Amino acid sequence: MKVYGVMGWKNSGKTSLMERLVSEITGRGFSVSTVKHVHHDVDLDQPGKDTFRHRAAGAREVVLASADRLAILVEHRGPEPELPAVLARLAPVDLVLVEGYKRDAHPKVEVWRAETGQPLIQPGDPLVRAVATDAALSLPVPVLDLNDTQAVADFILREVGLV
């Protein structure tokens, strides 16, 4: 599987770009999965529900299966899983887009907007291959228009060898 990251500071527009990229790239006929890294505790389950009760009883994995979707809740009860372990659980697709995981060793597009008040990450990270922004910047890597989803998708697909 090809893996490409979209990263940047909080409120820079990462999730909006991810959403548009998934739509654009799947619209071109490629299969896409996503991984989203979060820095806070997450629980998609609800106390009292059957699956919550299964997990509370000690089940390591609980699968919710319906006609429309399948969800696997995994209790890893240890340190946060590293990206390679997460990727190993995915079914094969043409491209996995990763939101977050700033410091992991995969190529990335940095999403940067001046109004976040944060510095660019790109100058210190050689794995940031381009910056998607709404600002005029001069950088040693390509500067992509954050609002031109097609151009960002073209860049990523070229980078991973899918076009």
Domain range for 36 is 2-40+81-160
Question: Do 98 and 6 contact (CB within 8 A), yes or no?
Answer: yes
Question: Do 122 and 128 contact (CB within 8 A), yes or no?
Answer: yes
User: What's the pLDDT at 43?
Assistant: 65
Closest CA to 31 of 96, 118, 86: 96
User: What's the pLDDT at 55?
Assistant: 84
Tens digit of pLDDT for each residue in 14-72? 999 999 999 999 999 999 999 998 865 666 677 888 888 898 888 888 888 889 988 88
Tens digit of pLDDT for each residue in 69-123? 888 888 877 788 899 999 999 999 999 999 989 889 999 999 999 999 999 999 9
Q: Is residue 58 part of a domain?
A: no
User: What's the pLDDT at 42?
Assistant: 63
Q: Is residue 16 part of a domain?
A: yes
CATH of the domain at 142: 3.40.50.300
Closest CA to 128 of 105, 140, 110: 110
User: What's the pLDDT at 122?
Assistant: 96
**How many domains are there within the chain?**
1
- Looking at the whole model, is its pTM more than 0.85? yes
User: What's the pLDDT at 81?
Assistant: 87
Q: Is residue 72 part of a domain?
A: no
Q: Is residue 66 part of a domain?
A: no
Q: Is residue 6 part of a domain?
A: yes
d(CA 90, CA 35): 9
